[in-house]
Amino acid sequence: MALQAFPDPEAFINSAIDRGAREGLDALEPLQQTVFLISEVEVSSDMGGIDAFVDAYGPTGLRRASEAFLAVGATEIAAALVAMARGLPGVDENLWNRANALTTARTGYNFDAIAACVQARLANASAASP
């Protein structure tokens, strides 16, 4: 799916989440993965705990999600996810709680930050294409 096919960040974000839900993370392009991973962590945290995300994606998923959160400026969340990945399988309960609290509060980012990240990368992709 060409990045240039999306006229605005919101359409891209919605499409990435929908496609990721249907086809899985590995079917997505890198920018779509960034959006989808953030969504997956948010949903897991909001619906009962980040442990559901860890169960689905493991330590590699936590590291990839950390990179996604860094891309949108959520450095505290990114650091918590990396610490969790390093600590698995014996992550301290306080770290689980901190990661959940940071994510449910959307600490360090919001939808506008995700949209700005997407917009910048779409613009770069558009400028780079012939």
pLDDT, one tens digit per residue, over 61-77 is: 999 999 999 999 999 99
> For residue 91, is it left (φ>0), alpha (ψ between -120 and 50) or beta?
beta
CA distance 46 to 42: 6
Answer whether residue 102 is part of any domain: yes
What's this model's pTM, rounded to 2 decimal places? Answer: 0.87
| Positions in the chain whose pLDDT score sits under 70 | 1-7, 125-130
CA torsion sign for 90, 91, 97, 100 is: negative
Domain span at residue 100?
A: 31-107
Answer whether residue 35 is part of any domain: yes
Number of domains the chain is built from: 1
